[in-house]
Structure 1
Amino acid sequence: MPDVAAKTIESTFPQLTVENGFAALPPEFYTRLMPTPVPAPYLVDGNDTASALIGLDPAAFSSRQFIDVFSGNQLMAGSQPLSAVYSGHQFGQWAGQLGDGRAILLGDVPSHDGTHRIELQLKGAGATPYSRMGDGRAVLRSSIREYLCSEAMAALGIPTSRALSVIGSDQLVMRETPETTAVVTRMAPSFVRFGSFEHWFYNKKHNSLKILADYVIAQFYPELKATENPYQAFLAEVSKRTAHLMADWQAVGFMHGVMNTDNMSILGLTLDYGPFGFMEAFDPGHICNHTDQQGRYAYDMQPQIGHWNCYALGQALLPLIGSVEDTQDALKDYQPQYVARYDALMHAKLGLQTVQHGDEQLFDAMFALMKTSHTDFTLFFRRLGDFQISDPLSDSPLRDLFIDTAGFDTWSLQYRARLKAEHSMDASRRLAMQKTNPKYVLRNYLAQVAIEKAQNKDYSEISKLRKILQRPFDEQPEHADYAALPPDWANGLEVSCST
């Protein structure tokens, strides 16, 4: 590790009071280290919505101090920077020790409402002992994607880590080609992962496993301490949150791309944005990650993989829970929890207020038709809100999304009859569906346009796109182009683990 201590000075940064609860764990859980400074850092974008979570005045974004602190060139008073160790299963195979290869935890600060603490983590702040021959840097391209998507997901109401800022530098690193670097400041109550527990289980260090479990339960699940078996209750709660998260992803067509156990949050958050994507032309088997040659993390596999990952966590917690039977019992509600939440979300997306016999067949027929016609996922559900029971002519904008128009006509008769059966009212249903079905999602081509402008020193599109995505359910007619079908050139876009 390079000696960078002499280049790091302490910043008072009076708006934030920094501690580091994770640093109270024994030293085997992490490595203390300083971020590696970057030359001549500058602000790419600052997120006022995220800064409000920690009571930070957005006016600070333009200050030299903010740029230096959140590029890793300075430390805030109280900060105890560290990188955590963990292990994990990657693409279904045990990968052994991993850890924060590009991430450095600065510490945690109180939330603005005082209800909890929020960790601040720099991604791309230099090499760590867990970098696995890498340079520990993040490139501007991937940093912009994570920054925008974490905020888009939050606005969609999906649990996620957040992003405070992107700080850029003209420093070059080699990927497929030379690229400029950037540092993203990520925010979450905790970045502990399923793989954090697997690390101690597979290293047969059950005392460390217990220390971590007790820490997580005390900090984030204190209500479980009084249960008969807190570790079993913890697994059950994480399993439930994961099931709900998978349902949330499926309902908006989000694909994570790399659902390794080291990328799974013990708080049920969407974590570690890499080769993600939002479904466009509907294909249940779509693989958003070009690296995923076997399709392990395809769209229709995500609920199953979420369940698999919970079993991997259960295996790691087995020494604490005490028996296989109790561990399996903690996992038994995953599937019912997923089905119930997904079913509720689908009813809401179709504007249905009641559950009736035949609804599942209606949904299945809809998705089969969408698959055959390669119907755009987001546009379909958004336009479905304009469906009128008494006026078939109103179907035209929706019908235009289908190659199989005859098939759509048949399905629309079934849907119209279903709406009549519960005496649905067009106006109220439309309002409810607009609050459920987003008009704007982070399509890959939108991110690519922002990236290409940023690579030419124009960062305005990042800010503009972030603000649009922070109001995904609003009409925003002045930005209607951002809700349009992707252009033909977007068909050639690919994302992979290197993204």
Structure 2
Amino acid sequence: MTEKKETEKTGWNFDNSYARLPKSFFTDLNPTPVSLPKLITLNYPLAAAIGLNAQVLQSNNGAEVFAGNKIPVGALPIAQAYAGHQFGHFTMLGDGRALLLGEQITPIGSRVDIQLKGSGKTPYSRGGDGRAALGPMLREYIISEAMHALGIPTTRSLAVVTTGESVIRETEQPGAILTRVAASHIRVGTFQYAAKWGTVEELRTLADYTLQRHFPESDSSGNRYLFLLQEVIKRQAALISKWQLVGFIHGVMNTDNMTISGETIDYGPCAFMDAYDPATVFSSIDTRGRYAYGNQAHIAAWNLARFAETLLPLLHDNQEQALKLAQDEISNFTELYHRNWIMGMRAKLGIFNEEPQDESLIEDLLSMMQKYHADYTNTFRALTFGKLLDIDFFATTEFDQWHKVWQSRLDRQQETKDSSYKLMRNSNPSIIPRNHRVEEALEAAVEQGDYSVMERLLDVLSRPYAHSVEQEDYSTLPMPSNRPYRTFCGT
């Protein structure tokens, strides 16, 4: 079978618009071949959704493509250039261990990036080996697919292959490559790169491209670049509120990890919160809590301010007027975020309409949860099903008083109590990727070559609002430990 026929049979349908931008935005580069690629996991539903034949991808040819050993017809591998503020410090970055294989046109005509993560050194590797270890790649696969099932905009994971080679981190670990699917990989950091090292015309070209790709409804008769800023702010306000509503902590909210599309990206030291505490930090490198759970909305606003700065030359010819336009829009983020968050919290409590006292009702509950170290997910799950004896703080006088106020609030609605509890079932997941369960799956896979633990976990995570019996075991908390849970970036 010819390479072209093989590609057609697989379903690859590339059209690489990003590679038509000025050459300063990327470097043409093929992946570095690996010795013995082996397909570990393949996302069948995602493959079908983007027009790929999963049966064909299971073959040795599929493993060769996912490893970067074989380039499908129509693909045009590139390493993207971008910059970013990492923990507040600006630096030049770029794809140091990833390559954009190409842009797949799906059966419904949408465009998605196909990226290989761990595919070898690039001009942006900054001394790194360009490779990835199996554990972090499987972590991204698990968490990104769980986020998708929770209804949170996210990049997704199509496949993971092992390379047959080792990588050295703190220890020797099996190497792997993740195939990531995204609406695009255009980041706040991409605009920072263009603003710092490109010309104004290159910046304008990037902005025009981004508008065409993600915001085609923009009105060319108005201020298109102000519209771009407004839409990115809206998407991030919606995204971060969704993170908060399920207790997700990204762990490394650098500007290069904030997408213009509004998708969650780069699952490094991420994790889900157990006991409710706004100060929760899991990342081993976030020693000062910059990216703690309670700081995520503030950091998002800070990142968006950096994005707005890059657009100043495009917003208005007068610098002062451009700055005022940008500041006015950034000041709207907090209100937009808060509106999304409180609407989501109302749904978690079965509330359909709005009353001024709702915010205090919500804050009182969260305050009690923090005081009594109540589990975030299981608290709302218990409220949803009335299983109040399962959690200790439900027996307190404080909670009893709060519960009466909450029930009175539900009674004032036109909707029935049954409708409220149905809303809660659809808003409160019964299951999240519990950290100890993720670690259990990763240990079995990496240390023992047993992927069945991960497969079972992925299966239950795919239906977080099913509230099924088989999910019960996955909602239990880890055993108490004197050592705080820590995550690592995996680079």
1:314 Cα offset (Å): 0.4
1:347 matched to 2:343? The reply is no
Distance 1:401 1:48 in 2: 42
1:183 Cα offset (Å): 0.7
Q: Is the 8 A contact 2:27 2:80 kept in 1?
A: yes
Give the paired residue count. Answer: 481
Q: Is the 8 A contact 1:167 1:184 kept in 2?
A: yes
Distance 1:490 1:474 in 2: 33
Out of 258, 265, 274, the residue aligned to residue 271 of structure 1 is 265
Q: Is the 8 A contact 2:394 2:400 kept in 1?
A: no
**1:327 — aligned with what?**
326
Listed one character per residue, the Cα deviations across residues 161-194 of structure 1 (whole Å, up to 9, x for unaligned) are 1110111133111101110111111001210000
1:50 Cα offset (Å): 1.4
What is the TM-score with the length of structure 1 in the denominator? 0.93
**1:443 — aligned with what?**
434
1:367 Cα offset (Å): 0.5
**1:391 — aligned with what?**
none
The amino acid of 1:69's aligned partner reads V
The amino acid of 2:297's aligned partner reads P
**2:402 — aligned with what?**
411
Out of 56, 64, 84, the residue aligned to residue 80 of structure 2 is 84
Out of 459, 470, 480, the residue aligned to residue 472 of structure 2 is 480
Q: Is the 8 A contact 1:151 1:163 kept in 2?
A: yes
Q: Residues 411 and 20 (structure 1 numbering): CA distance in 2 closer, same or farther, change over 3 Å?
A: same
1:422 Cα offset (Å): 2.0
Q: Is the 8 A contact 1:445 1:490 kept in 2?
A: no
Distance 2:483 2:245 in 1: 23
Q: Is the 8 A contact 1:376 1:401 kept in 2?
A: no
2:427 counterpart SS class: coil
1:136 matched to 2:135? The reply is no
Q: Is the 8 A contact 2:411 2:417 kept in 1?
A: no
Q: Is the 8 A contact 2:282 2:485 kept in 1?
A: no
What is the TM-score with the length of structure 2 in the denominator? 0.94
Which runs of 5 or more residues in structure 2 are unaligned?
317-321
**2:444 — aligned with what?**
453
1:463 matched to 2:455? The reply is yes
Give aligned-pair identity as a percent.
Answer: 40
Out of 62, 65, 73, the residue aligned to residue 66 of structure 1 is 62
Distance 1:245 1:272 in 2: 14
1:422 counterpart SS class: coil
Distance 1:317 1:79 in 2: 31
**1:174 — aligned with what?**
168
2:159 counterpart SS class: strand
Distance 1:106 1:402 in 2: 51
Which runs of 5 or more residues in structure 1 are unaligned?
1-8, 388-393
Distance 1:46 1:384 in 2: 37
**2:208 — aligned with what?**
214
1:274 Cα offset (Å): 0.5
1:293 matched to 2:284? The reply is no
Q: Is the 8 A contact 1:243 1:337 kept in 2?
A: yes
Q: Which runs of 4+ in 1 moved over 6 A?
A: none
Q: Residues 430 and 332 (structure 1 numbering): CA distance in 2 closer, same or farther, change over 3 Å?
A: same
1:35 matched to 2:31? The reply is yes
Shifted more, 57-66 versus 40-49: the winner is: 57-66
1:181 counterpart SS class: strand
The amino acid of 1:370's aligned partner reads M
Q: Is the 8 A contact 1:11 1:75 kept in 2?
A: no
1:10 Cα offset (Å): 8.1
The amino acid of 1:99's aligned partner reads G
**2:355 — aligned with what?**
356
Q: Residues 401 and 485 (structure 1 numbering): CA distance in 2 closer, same or farther, change over 3 Å?
A: farther
The amino acid of 1:24's aligned partner reads R
**1:5 — aligned with what?**
none
1:58 Cα offset (Å): 2.5
Distance 1:81 1:235 in 2: 29
Distance 2:180 2:481 in 1: 31
2:410 counterpart SS class: helix
Listed one character per residue, the Cα deviations across residues 369-404 of structure 1 (whole Å, up to 9, x for unaligned) are 0001111111111111113xxxxxx5323xx24287
